[in-house]
Amino acid sequence: MMLAAMGIVFGDIGTSPLYALKECFSPEHGIAFSNEALFGVISMMIWALLIVVTFKYVFIVMRADNKGEGGILSLMALALRSMKSDSKQYFLVMVLGMLGACMLLGESVITPAISVLSAVEGIAIATPNLADAVIPISLLILVCLFLIQKYGTAAVGQFFGPITLVWFLVLAGLGVMNITKSPDIIYAFNPLYAINFISDHPVTAYIVLGAVVLVVTGVEALYLDMGHFGKNPVRLTWLTIALPCLLLNYLGQGALLLSNPNAISNPFYLMVPEWALWPIVGLATAATVIASQAVISGAYSMVNQGILLGFIPRMNILHTSDSERGQIYIPAVNWALLIMVIVTVLEFRESVSLAAAYGLSVTSTMLVTTILLSIVMRREWHINPIIILCMIVIFLMIDIGFWTATLIKIKDGGWYPITLALVMFTCSLTWYRGRKLLRDKLIVESIPLEGFIKNLLAHPPHRVEGTAIFLTPHIDFVPAAMLHNLKHNHVMHERVFFLKLSTWDVPFVRDEDRLSLKDLGGNVYVVRSVHGFKETPDINKVLELITKQYGLPFDLMDTTFFLARDAITPSKSPGMAVWRERLFAWMMQNAAKPSDFYNIPANRLVELGAKVEI
């Protein structure tokens, strides 16, 4: 499990040595080089890894698991659990969680670009004449990476762990080689170097914070992916392998700069012996591809959660593994990411230019995580408020310091993740609000189900053979598809099921807790099937479960599924701004059909629609 976690969880944070220290002293975004600044910066990096990653995330945040699952949406679900869904507090926490998730999705665009670029830039060190080939080679690698996504990660996943392990051992080896040449750099472990540098040069230290934060990029992956491997394997891998190797490499880069300040142009590759440069470039490229794969898979997982929680329109989701339910592929997300990654590479062209954008994306997510964590600590864990205050103040001071330091680089690239996040956030909030308006509108115009069925059975229409399944958004009201069917066809099937597919704020639901069934008489049933936010409902499995638990068999060739497909008409009535209503109508029109999303057989489906004005 530790080896598997090594390949998936630590790829992103493990490639930070390629660009983090270089960015701290870059002429465009960093500070002037001096021995005093070097010791201060290395000390800040060391303690960022120890406080932010080790103490905050590994020991505190990873305790906030939702039935074993992590990630910012799981944390949001935990924070919302004790709040009333119609309260302002609920809405604010929900908005905050979605904003953090959108920033994390923006990070999944920047990570492949900056990681692959920083690795391939080693070619320019090995052979300066090939400097112009960095962009084309990077784009080729990225395009190939996205093209193979449809085959899933199961086939290649077994190789990720060993390659990443070799990468970390190489990081440690390079670090040790250079530390032996300038062992004084070990004094940077003393936090006084960081404290004195900050107190003596507050403006300079504040500027460099925006680059120091790059050492913790990928920290959210530790929390997001812990559900795949468990807390202990992730924690042990970090403490015994990843953290020591990263510390040794940053110290080694610092030792190199003590003896050769001119190496600041690319301290990672210039610490590599000339004979090993090409192999290290190849290994670094493999490591960055693995890091990119991890965030791409994370983007699929997060979008899937967003769909089931009602924040993102339905998309076609393909399961790439029969045994691992978390391995999914979403074509729309894949191609959108590829286009945005290509645009990102062509726009920024260098890893140094992308670092400012990357830092803002990372720090924004970290800040949101801290705020949501404080709510969970108080409402779910019931920790003493004084202890919470002390811990959260420390975390917020660090997070706000990092965040505001990256804000000053908005014009240098920080605008990019903000733009990406705001576009996704606007669409998500519009979809969530639009669905609520649509649901409220339909409920107002709906007829109570039990009374309607009672009257219908008292004077039944002609009943035909077979089974009708009406998917309904609300178990208490007659679905529109039922009314349309009675109005136009004047018949009722021999067996009728009203099926509601619900999503709970837990990652997974056990089969024995999934179904509830109510018999309304006359072979008419109301069924509710609940699913976790990491599960994609499958209508065939739901029917199998109904047969198994209630003894009601289904023959698909004798079963008809009825769905209501509403056409949204924007209006000036109270609700949302007209442009948002038009956006919602466009998303509704282009969302994946419920029949595809729920895996309903196309030849057994009848769709009945109507125009709805919101």
Q: How many CB atoms lie within 10 A of CB 198?
A: 18
Q: Give the integer Cα–Cα distance in Å for 361 and 13.
A: 14
Strands 462-471 and 559-569 come out as parallel
* pLDDT greater at residue 565 or residue 390: 390
Query: Mean of the pLDDT values across residues 403-421?
Result: 85
**pLDDT value of position 437:** 86
Amino acid at 30: G
> pLDDT for 48-58, tens place per residue?
999 999 999 99
The mean pLDDT value of the chain amounts to 87
> pLDDT for 150-206, tens place per residue?
776 555 556 678 888 999 999 999 999 999 989 999 999 999 999 999 999 898 888
**pLDDT value of position 322:** 56
Strands (E), 119-212: none
Domains and CATH numbers, the chain: 2-433 (1.20.1740.10), 448-613 (no CATH)
Cα–chain-centroid distance for residue 546? 33
**pLDDT value of position 565:** 79
Cα–chain-centroid distance for residue 112? 14
> pLDDT for 91-149, tens place per residue?
899 999 999 999 888 888 888 888 888 888 888 777 788 778 889 998 999 998 888 88
Q: Give the integer Cα–Cα distance in Å for 262 and 80.
A: 52
Is 563 strand, coil or helix? strand
DSSP string over 216-241? GTTHHHHHHTHHHH-HHHHHHHIIII
Query: Considering only CA atoms, which of 520, 506, 512, 537 is closest in space to residue 600?
Result: 537
Cα–chain-centroid distance for residue 512? 29
Beta-carbon contacts of 145 under 8 Å, excluding residues fewer than 6 positions away, are 112, 289, 292, 293, 296
**pLDDT value of position 29:** 62
Q: Give the integer Cα–Cα distance in Å for 344 and 111.
A: 10
Sheet containing strand 491-503, edge to edge, reads 515-521, 524-531, 491-503, 462-471, 559-569, 605-613
Is 381 strand, coil or helix? coil
Query: Considering only CA atoms, which of 500, 391, 421, 367 is closest in space to residue 107?
Result: 421
Q: How many CB atoms lie within 10 A of CB 266?
A: 20
Lowest mean pLDDT among 23-27, 52-56, 92-96, 247-251: 23-27
pLDDT range class, residue 324, cuts 50, 70, 90: low
> pLDDT for 83-92, tens place per residue?
887 788 988 9
Give the sign of the dihedral formed by CA 48, CA 50, CA 51, CA 52: positive
* pLDDT greater at residue 79 or residue 610: 79
Q: Quote the crossing angle between the two packed helices 351-379 and 202-212, to the nearest 10°.
A: 90
On the question of pLDDT at 321 being above 70, the answer is no
The DSSP element (H or E) to which 471 belongs, if any, is strand 462-471
DSSP 593: P
Phi, psi of 505 (to 5 degrees): -90, 40
On the question of pLDDT at 3 being above 90, the answer is no
Residue with tokens 């920033």: 103
Angle at 27 between CA 25 and CA 30, to 5 degrees: 40
H helix and E strand count, the chain: 26, 8
pLDDT range class, residue 250, cuts 50, 70, 90: very high
Specify which of 307-321, 343-357, 419-433 reaches the highest per-range mean pLDDT.
Answer: 419-433
Q: Quote the crossing angle between the two packed helices 277-308 and 331-348, to the nearest 10°.
A: 130
pLDDT range class, residue 212, cuts 50, 70, 90: very high
Query: Could you give the percent of the chain with pLDDT greater than 90?
Result: 37
On the question of pLDDT at 22 being above 80, the answer is yes
Query: Mean of the pLDDT values across residues 308-312?
Result: 85
> pLDDT for 538-554, tens place per residue?
899 999 999 999 999 99
pLDDT range class, residue 533, cuts 50, 70, 90: confident
**pLDDT value of position 110:** 87
